[in-house]
Amino acid sequence: MGSKTIAVILLSGSFFCTGAQASMRCGIGLVQLDDTSEQVEAKCGPADDQTSEGPVLRSDGVPQWGAVKVDRWVYGPRNGAYYHLRFIDERLVEIRMERER
């Protein structure tokens, strides 16, 4: 690969990483991707705001094949920032921090 190709790959990767984090500190605890919602709540306490979606159900009330439950939690403001956590089927898949404006 040429140096231009490597530069393009590195630059494009940085766009996908903006605003996302791999961990969040709660007191002395550290929340990381793949933690369960139970582990996060044990380390950080209840979220300041929570929403839940799904899973999508069939007409007989059974979850559709491949359907997932998505939970979104928000902590904050903490030190001038809000922390947005997204869980899929009770596993933490995203941590995003937004500064207060």
Average pLDDT of the chain, as a whole number? 84
Range of the domain at 58: 22-99
Q: Please count the structural domains in the chain.
A: 1
- Which residues have C-beta within 8 Å of that of residue 49, sequence separation ≥ 6? 73, 74
Q: How confident is the model at residue 16 (pLDDT cuts 50, 70, 90)?
A: very low
SS3 64: coil
Sort 94 into a burial class: Cβ within 10 Å, 0-12 / 13-18 / 19+: middle
* pLDDT tens-digit readout, 61-89: 998 999 999 999 999 998 899 999 999 99
- Say what the pLDDT of residue 5 is: 44
Residue 7 has pLDDT above 60, yes or no: no
Match 């300041």 to its residue by tokens.
Answer: 48
Q: Indicate which CATH number applies to the domain containing 36.
A: 3.30.1450.10
pTM reported for the whole predicted model: 0.74
- Among 9-13, 19-23, 91-95, the range scoring the smallest mean pLDDT is 9-13
